[in-house]
Amino acid sequence: MQNRRVLVTGGAGFIGSTLANWLAEDNDVIAVDNAFLGTAENLSDGVEFIEASVLDEEYPDDIDVLFHLAALSSRNMHEEDPQRGCRVNIEGFVNAVEQVRKQGCDTVVYASTSSIYGSRTEPSPESIPVTAQTAYEASKLSRERYAEYYANHHEIAMAGLRFFSVYQGFGGNEKHKGEYANTVAQFADAIASGESPELFGDGTQTRDFTHVNDVARACELAADHDLTGIYNVGTEEAYSFNEMIEMINNALGTEIEPEYIDCPFDDYVHDTMADATKFREATGWEPEIKFTDGVKLVCEPYLNESVGL
């Protein structure tokens, strides 16, 4: 993508800022964020930052492409305040699309979620039935339905990407999220600090861990191809939390054992893995960062600190 005017909502957050910085090398990029789960410190000088909510109507809407990543991205946030989750994740989505649509934008890429597949050890294709077990999942499914409306009624390219366990380390753009940061970052930080990470159950739960840089590339490709529909973005490989802890220890040269605790959620998803065939065939996208290498990238800043770099 080159020479396009781009709006990234949630643009100061973890995924949003990575995408905004990536696109700013060749495009005019505006990042809108209310600074609840994001910080302008994540953004490069080439990105215009506007502090605003996706529920507002006073941010730039004369754009070529909308990347809508703004959301309350935690299950717990929605369960604690379902009405707020609905306003931000559903009304905020409709508000953002409506504003840019009226100004002529006809390409939208938005974040959905892989958690709606529930617990599956087999790869999950987009074609299987899905259900909403949490308010967070319900909000993302609602986005997909509204996107279907916009595609059919307004002929807008609406690409919904179901991300699988996106990660990066605290040396990247997620440290500000604290307890809401991805598990790889949290566990690596705990182990680097000499603390035992807390794992639900026995640590055998698995995830399809997808590096944020690969997700940013996927977002750009979805826009470049003017895709419409639902697409999985994942590596098609799964690792257990126990395996992740072992990788982190190996990378850091430590031997910190995890602490196993009871899972507080009845709706906890135990296993996920993507079937990314549809997106690969549509765009040629392939993940470039294997999880074994990604863990090393997450741990690298701690090793640099230890030698005084």
Report the catalytic residues. 136
Q: Are 248 and 186 in contact (CB under 8 A)?
A: no
What does DSSP say about strands 229-233 and 259-261: parallel, antiparallel, or unpaired?
A: unpaired
Which residue shows structure tokens 């990407």? 161
Task: Phi first, then psi: give them for residue 171, nearest 5 degrees.
Answer: -75, -5
Tell me, what amino acid is at 37?
L
Measured CA to CA, the distance from residue 184 to residue 181 in angstroms comes to 8
How far is 246 from 266, CA to CA, in rounded Å?
27
Report d(CA 297, CA 226) in Å as an integer. 32
Q: For 151-156, which contacts have Cβ atoms below 8 Å and span 24 or more sequence positions?
A: 151/228, 154/101, 155/106, 156/97, 156/101, 156/105, 156/106, 156/107, 156/108, 156/228
Element (H, E) at 108: strand 107-111
Tokens representing residue 177 in the block: 């999220």
Torsional class of 70: left (φ above 0), alpha (ψ -120 to 50), beta (otherwise): beta
For residue 32 the two structure tokens come to: 């809108």
